[in-house]
Amino acid sequence: MRLRWIVGLVAIVLGALSCSILSLPTEPTPGMPQPSKIPETESSTPSPMEAATEGLPAVRTDLPEEAILILEPGPGSLLVSPMHVAGVAEPAWEQTLSVELLSDDGRELSGGGAMINAELGQRGRFAADIPFTVTERRNGFLRVFHSSPRDGGILHLASVGVTLAPDGADKVTAQNPHPEDLVIFVPEPGASIQGGTVRVEGFAIASFEQTLLVEVHDELGGVLGSQPVIVNAPDWGIPGPFTADIPYAVASEGAGRVVVRDISPAFGGDVHRASVEVTLQP
């Protein structure tokens, strides 16, 4: 009997100790390493798409229409003389455009004019037939532009690369309407600039190594300052933003122009040009 009583007492004591241990607080013991807690918030690791686009410029959706849109011929067209040119353009001085055909080494093969078929100050269609002569098949550039009545400087220029042939049949590709490939957002047209530096901001596609040339012209078309800029885009042929601060010096207030040029490495001339008329102050 005594042995059974002792065994029962031991069981009661052990049960009480177990309940005490289970009811102890769960605060960590100082100095003892603790297991890592699982974070309650979602992981901040970027998704594959976020990682791929991180740091890239946002796509612009507010770009205007191409100021001089060449619809025919499109890029890569095979052409024999005469070449039919057609498109849509912003208003120009006396609604007149210049059309120029260059060989791939920059020689002028032919040229002419085209009228914008719209009221003065209105956007409209244009067309022209340009004869040319080549003795063998070769690459060329069709350029359409309009100029300033003040100094004769080119205000806007667009181009398309084509193949020229002495005979045979045309193989003309069409070009679809698209937003402007070279846009200047800052400065705005008519802005008054002072302080000796012009801040230029825009959005563009650059044809060679993502590089454009930004210039500031005086009222006679002379270059007061220039600087190459790199378009901030992930790869060739993809549009992106660009910025530049161009120094200039003038003795008195006068008309000026901010010009952005996309220069071809093939012949050293412009394949695209945009500009903004401004007032320059000292």
pLDDT tens-digit profile of 114-149? Answer: 999 999 999 999 999 999 999 999 999 999 999 999
**CB distance 182 to 202 below 8 Å:** yes
Q: Do domains 62-180 and 181-282 have the same CATH topology?
A: yes
| Rounded-to-integer distance, Cα 281 and Cα 275, Å | 18
pLDDT score, position 142: 98
Give the three-state DSSP class for 89.
strand
What radius of gyration do the chain's Cα atoms show? 35
First to last CA, the chain: 116
Please tell me the class of the 181-282 domain: mainly beta
Q: Residue 149 class from Cβ within 10 Å (0-12 exposed, 13-18 middle, 19+ buried)?
A: exposed
CATH T-level fold of 62-180: Immunoglobulin-like (2.60.40)
DSSP 167: S
**CB distance 259 to 246 below 8 Å:** no
At residue 17, what are phi and psi to the nearest 5 degrees? -60, -40
Please tell me the pTM assigned to this model: 0.79
What element of type H or E holds 51? helix 48-53
Low-confidence ranges of the chain (pLDDT < 50): 1-54, 56
pLDDT score, position 33: 44
| Rounded-to-integer distance, Cα 43 and Cα 41, Å | 7
HSE value, Cβ hemisphere, 13 Å, CA-based, for 256: 29
| Rounded-to-integer distance, Cα 70 and Cα 99, Å | 11
Place of tokens 């093969």: 109
pLDDT score, position 58: 56
**CB distance 200 to 236 below 8 Å:** no
Query: What number of other Cβ atoms are within 10 A of residue 273's Cβ?
Result: 26
* Domain parsing of the chain, residue ranges: 62-180, 181-282
Q: Sheet holding 68-72: strands in order across?
A: 68-72, 83-89, 124-130
DSSP 207: S
